[in-house]
Amino acid sequence: MAARPDAPHKVVPPESGANGRRGLVDLTVLAVEDILRLVQQEIQLAKLELKEMLVSSAWGGALLAAAGLFGLLFLVFLFVTLALVFPLPASPHALVAGIETSVFLVLAAVLGLIGKSRLRIGAPPNTMTSLKEDAEWAKNLLKRNGK
């Protein structure tokens, strides 16, 4: 059965009724399936992004813990250095203790700054952006269909 050239290009499934209710049901089912797929993909994106944030934050926490340890060593060596410096004349080992104290201070500062920069606290940015885009798309779709 050939289509007439003046016939509309709309394809109606053979099992649809005269009023096209079956086509509406099929479209609704497709829309719900698309929404479910979209939600599942958003959940997968959020899981992946949270896992990346957790790994980065774990490294940041470990670096901050190391910075705390070096900060504690800095304090201990500072007291040792002060004990070697204050009984005048100063001990010849005071310079070595001062250098070690400075090294621990620098290590604590560097590890603390790196650890702080690796901490990622808050909502996953890519997931939030994607959710906002999806919400905007849905609003536009409802406005367009509501006319």
Strand, helix or coil at 88? Answer: coil
User: Is residue 122 included in any domain, yes or no?
Assistant: yes
Domain tally for the chain? 1
Highest-confidence range of 19-28, 33-42, 51-60, by mean pLDDT? 51-60
Contact between residue 115 and residue 71 where contact means Cβ atoms under 8 Å apart: no
The beta-carbon contacts of 97-103 under 8 Å, at least 24 apart in sequence, are 101/74, 101/77
Whether residue 147 is predicted with pLDDT greater than 80 in this model: the reply is no
Contact 84, 93 (CB under 8 A): yes
Say what the pLDDT of residue 68 is.
96
Does residue 118 form part of some domain?
A: yes
pLDDT at 70: 96
Q: What are the tens digits of pLDDT across the range 88-134?
A: 787 888 888 899 999 999 999 999 999 999 888 877 888 888 888 88
pLDDT at 102: 94
Q: What's the pLDDT score for residue 12? A: 46
pLDDT in tens, 42-99: 889 889 988 988 998 999 999 999 999 999 999 999 999 998 888 878 788 888 889 9
Residue 65 within a domain:
yes
d(CA 66, CA 58) in angstroms, rounded, equals 12
Specify if 44 maps to a domain.
yes
